[in-house]
Structure 1
């Protein structure tokens, strides 16, 4: 491919990360990447679309998302809109021959996600869900360690994604606090990430039990201070999981726990070792092996460097005498994670095969989320269904 022409739908917070990733990838991956053109961005707020185009380098803007999905001069559509709009936009993009990158969660429920997967399969185009953390070098290294059997058979997974930005009753009732456009609260918005990592590292979930809590039951309507309406979604979800391979564990998510900023955390314990990771120290992976002698036993710190999966794209110079491994410790961050996802998308388009995480992974995450919300409404364990 000589070039790929991108369109984007949604001019909110995520546009900066998608735009920077698409714009920077060709130079970082040069010469093994086609030219990327940022052709058109759309948002129902025309001013927001115009400002995003001017700021982030899109050639044109529009208030109608169909100007992106139906355009002859666009090959790939990136969707970063409220969750209840994903299905209609994505279906139209596939119907007009576009490849699609969609933000998570894929839909407000598993039924919608299943229809999106059907549309993707029928189109024959590449489809990907933006589960940002999967491609992170330390996390990919963790998966490689597990797959190589270096911690033995996995017994236990514990993961959480905790933030505190919504632990403030001054935050108004935007769309993420409403069940219709969001589907769920912290469970879908950030819990989908840690559920996806649980599947990526350990395997599929067989059944679960769950509880949810809403800590701030009412919030002011936007632009109408003092006029409040109910919050319709969860501020926290906590789950116990049984995996199909027999491992057990727990996954929790909240956007309203004081002291946590962006803590994507997991520990995976096998019968011969363990791994531990936190995004708040995202250039580190901690590894324990029971093969170490007792006087040296304990977790060792591994710093991300050019030897780790994907990290060679960035800031790691080769040091003389390092056997080609590069120099760890320079550090990479959140924007680089989006570059790595963009590279996976572009490479998948080149070979005509959808990457993981694709819409199948997006559907599976929605199935687990639906089961968790059902379990929270009940009082026991719930089997996770498969719609496809």
Structure 2
């Protein structure tokens, strides 16, 4: 498979390394509007062809599939151009910055008959698949309550670098630079983590967003720091469960941690994932009477990168699809609209 990489920022290195490790995948070209960054990226990953625009790469056309690692606001235009040329696409999350655009992208992908997948990267966590299997098997009974959180601390510490001086962080804090804040950046991850692990879908949510003061005038250079930093929501799930979901970049002591707790009529499941690894705990059968939790081993799963390549080779649809990501975007949009309406009433 001949692969084109669109966008050569920090996350693109992860894509390049993961795809290059898959036998039969060839990184044949890369696209970026920054010529220096593009040149350094191609030299690092031994990519021969360099393009300053997606249109230029599509005119060349000597590739089968695309991995789109551009900023959020650029996903729509670049992906739609690739779909129009019949290219298979793995797109970084979120699929778009609005449900209308995400739904249009899903329609276009289905019409083109190509593999169109979104890199919801925590689908790579084996423990979330094991939790889902437990729910589907009926081991915990009917699911009644779901609790999920995504905690980051990069606004508190410099463990990932200083956000005050790094454009790769500052754009995430500014609406004008295409960011929908914590809700749009990591909210989509924890929504998917919760719904996939609990083997259900999110029907609707009620959400509160908060943007905290971070710098003088809430601005650093060209970046107005107006994107949300934290959110807390309640959620109704299609399986009848009620849930609470929250995320923040102010979680002191948590570099990058996802947690999911699923409680059913007969048992419970907990998943924790952070930079050190993943853990699955269960409280099942007679252990429910003594509140005893036991660690459970999860079998390895294929990564999104591997599943995308296999799907392209077989020309079959795979998850998480554009349609699924559009559904998540609908929830994110409704959360943003609710907060905007509340602000207008103040």
Q: Does the pair score TM above 0.5?
A: yes
Aligned counterpart in structure 2 of residue 284 of structure 1, from 269, 279, 287: 279
Aligned counterpart in structure 2 of residue 342 of structure 1, from 285, 295, 305: 305
| Offset at residue 350 of structure 1 (A) | 2.3
* Conserved? CA contact 1:242–1:248, under 8 Å: yes
Aligned counterpart in structure 2 of residue 191 of structure 1, from 184, 187, 194: 187
Q: Could you tell me the TM-score, scaled by structure 1's length?
A: 0.80
Match of 1:310 in 2: 301
Q: Structure 1: give runs of 5+ residues left out of the alignment.
A: 27-34, 223-228, 312-339, 381-388
Match of 2:160 in 1: none
Between the aligned partners of 2:201 and 2:297, the Cα distance in structure 1 is: 29
Between Structure 1 and Structure 2, the one with more helix by share is: 2
Between the aligned partners of 1:67 and 1:342, the Cα distance in structure 2 is: 25
| Offset at residue 155 of structure 1 (A) | 0.8
1:91/1:164 CA distance change after superposition, 3 Å: same
1:25/1:170 CA distance change after superposition, 3 Å: same
Q: How does 1:201-350 map to 2 (within 5 A)?
A: 201-202=197-198, 203-216=200-213, 218-221=218-221, 230-280=224-274, 282-292=277-287, 294=289, 297-304=291-298, 308-310=299-301, 340-350=303-313
Q: Structure 2: give runs of 5+ residues left out of the alignment.
A: 158-162
1:159/1:185 CA distance change after superposition, 3 Å: same
Between the aligned partners of 1:148 and 1:70, the Cα distance in structure 2 is: 49
Between the aligned partners of 1:70 and 1:254, the Cα distance in structure 2 is: 42
Between the aligned partners of 1:117 and 1:211, the Cα distance in structure 2 is: 28
Q: What is the RMSD computed on CA atoms of the aligned residues?
A: 2.0
1:49/1:274 CA distance change after superposition, 3 Å: same
Between the aligned partners of 1:234 and 1:365, the Cα distance in structure 2 is: 18
SS in 1 for 2:22: helix
Q: Work out the number of aligned pairs and report it.
A: 331
1:216/1:58 CA distance change after superposition, 3 Å: farther
* Conserved? CA contact 1:84–1:180, under 8 Å: no
| Offset at residue 107 of structure 1 (A) | 0.6
* Conserved? CA contact 2:140–2:267, under 8 Å: yes
| Offset at residue 258 of structure 1 (A) | 1.7
| Offset at residue 351 of structure 1 (A) | 2.4
- My pick for the range that moved more, 35-44 or 175-184, is 175-184
Determine whether 1:354 maps to 2:345. Answer: no
Q: Could you tell me the TM-score, scaled by structure 2's length?
A: 0.90
Match of 1:334 in 2: none
| Offset at residue 181 of structure 1 (A) | 4.0
- My pick for the range that moved more, 119-128 or 166-175, is 166-175
Aligned counterpart in structure 2 of residue 182 of structure 1, from 178, 184, 201: 178
- 1:279-306 CA distances to partner (integer Å, 9 max, x unpaired)? 12533211111333856x51111244xx
Between the aligned partners of 1:235 and 1:122, the Cα distance in structure 2 is: 37
Between the aligned partners of 1:282 and 1:70, the Cα distance in structure 2 is: 43
1:73/1:360 CA distance change after superposition, 3 Å: same
* Conserved? CA contact 1:155–1:248, under 8 Å: yes
- 1:132-191 CA distances to partner (integer Å, 9 max, x unpaired)? 111321111111111111111111111111111133673467322222443410111111
Runs of 4+ in 1 over 4 A off after TM superposition: none
SS in 1 for 2:287: coil
* Conserved? CA contact 1:69–1:77, under 8 Å: no
Between the aligned partners of 2:202 and 2:267, the Cα distance in structure 1 is: 22
Match of 1:374 in 2: 337
Between the aligned partners of 2:262 and 2:46, the Cα distance in structure 1 is: 41
Between the aligned partners of 2:285 and 2:132, the Cα distance in structure 1 is: 18
* Conserved? CA contact 2:175–2:224, under 8 Å: no
SS in 2 for 1:102: strand
* Conserved? CA contact 2:148–2:245, under 8 Å: yes
- 1:203-235 CA distances to partner (integer Å, 9 max, x unpaired)? 22222111111113513116xxxxxx5312100
* Conserved? CA contact 2:287–2:293, under 8 Å: no
Between the aligned partners of 1:181 and 1:379, the Cα distance in structure 2 is: 24
Between the aligned partners of 1:131 and 1:37, the Cα distance in structure 2 is: 23
